[in-house]
Amino acid sequence: MTTQNRRSMLQLGSALAAGALSAFATGSGASASGKPLFAMAGATIPVVGSDPVFPVRRVY
């Protein structure tokens, strides 16, 4: 078994990470062309002391 130094391990890790990112960057476009299964109402949070509401993406 050969010994691995830190430099070769970092080079291998960066090459694997670049390959993984390039696979996601190309994308298949399947989700962009599809339509949603059901409609979702937008989530909003009321602003204290006024009538308008603030749109949000997630409510935790």
- Taking residue 9's Cβ as centre, other Cβ atoms within 10 Å add up to 10
The domain ranges of the chain are 1-26
**pLDDT tens sequence across 1-30:** 567 788 888 888 888 888 777 766 655 555
Predicted TM-score (pTM) of the model is: 0.35
CA atoms within 13 A on the CB side of 58: 1
